[in-house]
């Protein structure tokens, strides 16, 4: 069952991130499923820490971007969401290629939402698990 209250195509969703940190880091939304979103992010000079590994902060940007967009898509016109808490556990290092985020709801309430974001490497291994809580406004 679809959870989205707003209808949007992938190209329009990706245009929303233009001229922002999302575009700067090369984040691209790739799938809008009935109850999940997927996006990819390159592991390159934009997203690596000085030791050549994916920066934990870049993973958090991917997770928060995905959860915020998912929250926006799951509330009705006239409402919006703002992030109020984000956490991330880093499980495996990534040094090149790209990572894929998968965002699914844990709780979709009238006042707040919780989203689970898994970030996986090119071999589909879990690299980071993140949780975002957003407040529903409006």
pLDDT for 1: 76
* 131, part of any domain: yes
pTM: 0.96
Instruction: Say yes or no to pLDDT of 118 above 80.
Output: yes
C-alpha torsion sign, points 116, 58, 15, 126: negative
What are the residue numbers of the active site? 64
CATH of the domain at 65: 3.10.129.10
Structure tokens at 35: 């109850």
Indicate the length of the chain as a whole number: 138
Q: What angle (nearest 5°) sits at the alpha carbon of residue 46, between those of residues 120 and 115?
A: 40
* 115, part of any domain: yes
pLDDT digits (tens, 9 = 90+) for 59-84: 999 999 999 999 999 999 999 999 99
Contact 17, 27 (CB under 8 A): yes
Domain range for 91? 10-137
Mean pLDDT of 4-24: 96
* 120, part of any domain: yes
* 19, part of any domain: yes
């Amino acid at each position: 069952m679809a959870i989205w209250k707003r209808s949007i195509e992938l190209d329009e969703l990706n245009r929303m991130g233009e001229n922002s940190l999302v575009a700067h880091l090369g984040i691209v939304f790739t799938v809008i499923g009935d109850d999940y979103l997927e996006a990819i992010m390159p592991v390159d000079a934009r997203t690596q820490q000085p030791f050549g590994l994916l920066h934990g902060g870049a993973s958090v940007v991917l997770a928060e971007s995905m959860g915020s967009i998912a929250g926006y898509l799951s509330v009705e016109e006239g409402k919006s969401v703002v992030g109020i808490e984000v956490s991330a556990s880093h499980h495996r290092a990534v040094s090149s290629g790209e990572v894929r985020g998968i965002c699914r709801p844990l709780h979709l309430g009238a006042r707040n939402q919780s989203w689970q974001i898994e970030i996986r490497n090119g071999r589909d291994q879990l690299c980071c698990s993140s949780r975002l809580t957003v407040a529903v406004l409006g």
